[in-house]
Structure 1
Amino acid sequence: MNEHIAGKVVVVTGAAGRLGQRVLHRFAREGARLAAVVHSAEQARRFQLPEQAEGAVFYADLTHEAQVVACFDQIQDRFGQVNVLIHAVGAWAERPLRELTLNEWHALLGANLTSTFLCFREAARLMQGQGGRLIAFAAMQGVDRGRARQAAYSAAKGGLVRLVEALGAELGSQGITVHAIAPSVIHYGEEKPTTGIAADQLVELCLWLCSPHAAALNGTTLRAYGSL
């Protein structure tokens, strides 16, 4: 059990996804109190927290402001505080420019950037006076250079990186640190990948960012490319 995590309220968005599941299980082993956020009421009814974990399940469409505000209010009512937010929500699509519709553009920016803004804003509101950690996932396309046929995704992840920088500068004086982790290709298998990075390695980075060892960092994006 991790003394820096045990008893802390850790909000994990995208909790039903593969990465969100890894985050939940790892932080549960370290004694965190978990607020797992999924997309819909149906998902929430079927969702199970890790065995013996302390926590609760919430739901919201994280691209809709009113739902996000209500969700974090419910988390506050249930736990009384929020110490860590790990935002594991996102969407990816590949489309040539001539075929990219405005709806698709808005959907990708909504899932990857707007959801991050809304969740960071509401979590930071609940961290006032106590500090905390805000962590999201960027991508190579938002850090190094955009990719062909991925204009919307690259723009969204690039915006996320700048959002993290701006909020790190704004919230640092309040004891809130803001970070992004930018993976290359994420692997979910048990074998060590020969390229890219294993999902469990990303989760370990999340744990490290929540520790005092990372307290001097703020507004940073960690390039978690593994073996390219």
Structure 2
Amino acid sequence: MSGPVALVTGAGRGIGLATAQRFLAEGWRVALLDIDGGLLGAAMARLAQPEATLALHCDVADATAAPAAVRRAAAHFGRLDALVNNAGTAVFKPLLDTTAEEWNRVLAVNLTGPFLCTSAAAPLMAEGGGGAVVNVTSISGLRASTLRVAYGTSKAALAHLTKQQAVELAALGIRVNAVAPGPVDTAMAKAVHTPEIRRDYHDTIPLDRYGLEEELAEAIFFLCGDRAAYITGQVIAVDGGFEAAGIGLPTLRAARRNP
């Protein structure tokens, strides 16, 4: 097989798996990386495209294993055109209850992981004339919220890392952007968002709904493709307007619905 190659981390489920499916639908070959071997195996079975996919069981925070996995993907397919740093973890606890171990692990996965993978991928992309990197940040990196001191901080730092990478890797023909999801109907959200929390989110999202994994995948795929050839160093919120909304909008919207 021929055609471009993407490596997607955290691809066992959710946004990562949806992104892998989006690439495959357009004829790309995809390396799927995940720390959970069970999820990764299930994803590979679901995709059922052994010639176009490669499973990489790896922790992106491992300074030895992560770069080796990136190199393996490029060696297996003969090239590497896009990297999607989607793997992430979270601890939802008050600031004063968050331990140093929890803090370090969240930053290791959410920030160090993209640093390691991009640093390993960039020389390989440069050999082929360039490529694209998309870091998956979060709306929590743009707006502070409760119970997310480690997660929000790691994602805010990842947004800045995106700009650093964009500036420094442009000379190699590599574009780097980020997508910041708002509330999305992922397995994690379904597990931790109570009906009350979901109602609160709906009240602050102008489009009045959670996003879909496929909608995030669409934005990621666009940023990796030729149609985004002049876009780099950007953080694009895919959030139904959540980041743009100000205090009082729910009340104003309710007033407009009931004049």
Q: What's the TM-score once normalised by structure 1's chain length?
A: 0.88
Note the 1:122-137 alignment, pairs <5 A: 122-129=120-127, 130-137=129-136
Residue aligning to 1:3: none
1:18 maps to which residue? 14
Aligned match of 2:48 in 26, 47, 51? Answer: 51
Cα distance, 1:168–1:185 mapped onto 2, change above 3 Å: same
- Pair 1:90-2:104 in alignment: no
Alpha-carbon shift at residue 44 of structure 1 (Å): 5.2
Instruction: Report the residue type matching 1:124 in the other structure.
Output: A
CA distance in 1, matches of 2:186, 2:38: 25
Give the 3-state SS of the residue equivalent to 1:187 in structure 2. Answer: coil
Tell me which amino acid in the other structure corresponds to 1:91.
T
**Which whole-Å CA distance do the structure 1 matches of 2:215 and 2:166 have between them?**
23
What does the per-residue CA deviation read over 1:86-111, in whole Å, with 9 as the maximum and x for residues that have no partner? 12211122211221100000011112
Relative distance call for 1:29 and 1:94 in structure 2 (3 A) is same
**Structure 1 residue aligned with 2:173, among 162, 172, 175?**
175
**Counterparts of residues 49-198 of structure 1 (less than 5 Å):** 50-52=47-49, 54-129=52-127, 130-143=129-142, 145-188=143-186, 194-198=208-212
Post-superposition Cα deviations, 1:69-122, rounded to whole Å, max 9, x if no partner, equal 221221122112110111221112221122110000001111211111111111
CA distance in 1, matches of 2:119, 2:236: 21
1:219 equivalent in alignment to 2:194: no
Judging by fraction of residues, say which structure has more helix. Answer: 2
Q: Structure 2: where are the runs of 5+ without partners?
A: 188-206, 243-259
Aligned to 2:25: 29
Secondary structure at the aligned position of 2:64 is classed as: helix
Instruction: Quote the Cα distance in structure 2 between the aligned partners of 1:43 and 1:225.
Output: 26
Does the residue aligned with 1:172 lie in a helix, a strand or coil?
A: helix
What is the CA distance between 1:29 and its match in structure 2? 1.1
User: CA shift at 1:213, angstroms?
Assistant: 2.1
SS of residue in 1 equivalent to 2:154: helix
- Please, what TM-score do these two structures have when normalized by structure 2? 0.78
8 Å CA contact retained: 2:9, 2:84: yes
Aligned residue for 2:6, secondary structure, equals strand
Is contact 2:13–2:39 with CA below 8 Å preserved after alignment? no
Tell me the percent identity: 28
Q: Tell me how far apart the structure 2 counterparts of residues 98 and 199 of structure 1 sit (CA, whole Å).
A: 32
Q: 1:195·1:227 contact (CA, 8 Å) conserved in 2?
A: no
User: How many Å separate the matches in 2 of 1:103 and 1:122?
Assistant: 26
CA contact 1:38–1:58 (8 Å) conserved in 2:
yes
Q: Which runs of 4+ in 1 moved over 3 A?
A: 40-47
Q: Rate the CA distance shift 1:47–1:206 in 2: closer, same or farther, 3 A.
A: closer
CA distance in 2, matches of 1:137, 1:45: 23
8 Å Cα contact 2:133/2:224 also seen in 1 = no
